[in-house]
Chain A
Amino acid sequence: DVKVTQSSRYLVKRTGEKVFLECVQDMDHENMFWYRQDPGLGLRLIYFSYDVKMKEKGDIPEGYSVSREKKERFSLILESASTNQTSMYLCASSGTSGPYNEQFFGPGTRLTVL
C-alpha cells in the first residue's frame, strides 16, 4: 500500500520559532509537494521538488523554505513562525510516468502558532 507520512499530526509553536515539517514517501516518486489548506481557499502550493536538491516556488512561498536531501524525504521549514502561518499543511508526492499521474497525500499536519 502506497504511503505518504508526515512527522506530526498536530503541532503547537510560538511566534518566532523555527519549525520543521517532515514528509516521507515510500513510492520512489520524483515529485513532492507542500500545500497549505485554509477554509474557503482550498489547497495552495507552497513549494515543490522534482528531484533531490531541486525545488521550485509555488503560489505562496513567502515565509517558507524547503529541503530535499534524499528522494524519499521533503521538509518544509518555517524560519520564524508567525500567527498567520497557523494552518493545515499537506504533503503529496507523484511519479513521472505520465501527465495524468495523480498526487498521493499524507494525513496533514495541523500547525498552530501562538
Chain B
Amino acid sequence: AQSVTQLGSHVSVSEGALVLLRCNYSSSVPPYLFWYVQYPNQGLQLLLKYTTGATLVKGINGFEAEFKKSETSFHLTKPSAHMSDAAEYFCAVKKGSARQLTFGSGTQLTVLP
C-alpha cells in the first residue's frame, strides 16, 4: 500500500521568506507525485507533478519540488513567499497503474506580513 506523509499541518513564514513544505511517500514501485493547492472556498488546483526524468520539477506561481528517491521525498519549495500563497497544500501519490490518488493530510501555509 502506498501512503503520503506531510510533516507539519501548519506552516507560517514571513513574506519574502523561503517556503518549504515537506512530503514523504511510501510506495513499492516508482510513484507519480503531485502537489495541489487549495485556496479558501475553492477546489484543488494542480501546482506541479513528477512523472519521470528530471528530478527538479517546476510548477506554477514560482513553486518547485525535488524528487529524491533515496529519501522517498518530494518537498515543495518557493524562494520568496507572497501573501497570495496563503492556502492549503496537498501532496498526492499515484501508483503507476492506478487511477486514483492517495493524498496527504495537507499543510496550511500562513504568510505573515
Contacts and interface: CB of A to CB of B under 8 A. Distances in A.
Interface of A: 4, 31, 33, 35, 40-45, 48, 50, 58, 90, 92, 94, 96, 98-100, 102-108
Contacts of B101: 45, 103
A31 B51 CA distance: 19
Given A58-B100, A105-B43, A108-B43, 11 more contacts: A35-B103, A41-B105, A42-B104, A48-B100, A92-B44, A99-B97, A100-B51, A102-B46, A103-B44, A105-B36, A108-B41
B90 A31 contact: no
B interface, over-half SS: loop
Interface residues on B, range: 20 to 34
B9 A105 contact: no
A42 B106 contact: yes
B75 to A, nearest CB: 17
B37 to A, nearest CB: 11
A4 B46 CA distance: 14
A100 B32 contact: yes
A60 to B, nearest CB: 13
Contact of A105 (B32, B45, B97): B45
Contacts of A35: 103
Nearest to B51: A100
Contacts of B36: 105
Nearest to B34: A102
A31 B105 contact: no
A4 B43 contact: yes
